[in-house]
Structure 1
């Protein structure tokens, strides 16, 4: 399959956080594993560690089931392309930092909005830090990853917006919606449209679901995944993770 024949992306299911958090979880106790050990198939770049965000790890980690599905997704790409993972499991410290950063960015873009509205807008892009273990941020479970595609020469494909940009253009179906409104696309828009379709196709074929506000964000085994797929319960609850070899995964 090439990026230009991946099928269009259907309109998203816009689920409220309340409905997501209502889904129960039966912890699978899958291990958290590094994602960088098969570089011929999957590349990793810990973007928040590069940005020197407090608490970010130099490696990307996720559940074993996530790694298996990432490798499957990568195998569906044309041979000259690979999936690049830029984030996986997150600590509460990192999640808190990112939420504050997003709130500040949106406040700058929309100074006319009230703080409560700004917080709601921020939650379209970054989940609130966990205060209740039944309401975890998806990344805190090890069941969410942020990804894009690059070619084997190291060139990142264009997706039309920067990673983590808190704006409408980051929505997965942004360009699909322009087509539905009979609006014209530039060549750059078309390239981003095809690349988003390709990423969406290989990731969903591997069992992931996409968070509709972010073209780069995919989940499996989380509460949102369970709600969207009709599963009775989530597979992954929030976990603490340590690089200490004597530490084990501990449910929060």
Structure 2
């Protein structure tokens, strides 16, 4: 009962200072697996394929350990809720497309910003497409997921913003500061955050939907010296991963 109650606890600010030293990647060679109905409370809805983004995947892939921890998250989440996955492993070409698309949207919404400010604002919402170990794209590792809370039938609940929305309200703790603005969304975000972090994930504070495990972004937040998930290069055929290798 204590664990079940704790999933409703407020989301606390993450005051951990990131390690300044370079984080090593000791690749575990854990495979990518498809999420396709293995668990009755995990629903895969690949949003970028639905948006017809070039080279996007028709199914969601994650590292094996990520899937195991999603099951752990469900073990503490009340049974009337489910987890809805929007994205997992993301091909490099899709990351490039998204960065360009978001930069254009930021420039249109904030025409007064300089090019440098546009780049900085864009990086709040989408990682710069990089294979460099120090700035490795989290989704390229298979250790990042974009996820939301759903009802028992897999219908996404309202967590206060649309997925990928460029807004101050997209920050994970927004409704902790303004709980009366949307009490239900505040509760849903707490449920999602607590069940995911109890399972070992860490959250990117600018996006309530983004969680990491065992990649460099995760290692920085937990102050680990190394990560086990490096970059994965995949051959894509008809929007499926045909084969992959570790780089």
Normalised to the residue count of structure 1, the TM-score between the two structures is 0.89
Q: Where does 1:135-214 land on structure 2 (aligned, <5 Å)?
A: 135-178=135-178, 185-186=180-181, 189-214=182-207
In structure 2, what is the equivalent of residue 222 of structure 1?
Answer: 215
Whether 2:222 is the aligned partner of 1:249: answer no
SS in 2 for 1:226: helix
Q: CA shift at 1:79, angstroms?
A: 1.2
RMSD: 2.4
Match of 2:224 in 1: 231
Q: CA deviation at 1:207?
A: 0.3
Q: Which runs of 5+ in 1 are unaligned?
A: 180-184
Equivalent pairs counted in the alignment come to 243
- Give the secondary-structure state (helix, strand or coil) at the position aligned to 2:135: coil
Map of 1:76 onto structure 2: 76
Write out per-residue CA displacement over residues 27-70 of structure 1, whole angstroms, 9 at most, x where no aligned residue: 11000111223241311011000111001010000100000001
Which one is further off, 169-178 or 237-246?
A: 237-246
**Structure 1 residues 145 and 68 mapped into 2: Cα distance closer, same or farther (>3 Å)?**
same
Pair 1:75–1:121, CA change in 2 (3 A): same
Q: Structure 1 residues 59, 13: CA separation in 2 closer, same or farther (over 3 Å shift)?
A: farther
Residue of structure 1 in register with 2:233 after alignment: 240
d(CA) in 2 for partners of 1:246, 1:118 = 33
Q: Structure 1 stretch 223-232 or stretch 109-118: which is displaced more?
A: 223-232
1:162 positional shift: 0.5
Query: Which range moves more in the overlay, 200-209 or 126-135?
Result: 126-135
- For the structure 1 residues 83 and 154, does the alpha-carbon distance in structure 2 shift closer, same or farther, using more than 3 Å as the test? closer
Q: Which moved more, 1:43-52 or 1:71-80?
A: 71-80
Range 61-70 or range 6-15, more displaced: 6-15
Q: Distance in 1 between matches of 2:39 and 2:227?
A: 29
SS in 2 for 1:9: coil
Written as runs of structure 1 = structure 2, the 5 A alignment for 1:102-121 is 102-121=102-121
Of 210-219 and 41-50, the range deviating more from structure 2: 41-50
Partners of 1:28 and 1:4 lie apart in 2 by 32
TM-score, length basis structure 2? 0.90
Higher strand share: 2
Shift of 1:247: 6.3
The corresponding residue for 1:60 is 60
Question: Does the C-alpha gap of structure 1 residues 161 and 233 become closer, same or farther in structure 2, counting only changes over 3 Å?
Answer: same
Q: CA deviation at 1:134?
A: 4.6
| Structure 2: runs of 5+ lacking an equivalent | none
**In the alignment, is residue 25 of structure 1 matched against residue 25 of structure 2?**
yes
8 Å CA contact 1:3, 1:195 repeated in 2: no
- Partner in structure 1 of residue 122 of structure 2: 122
In structure 1, distance between residues paired with 2:122 and 2:132: 19
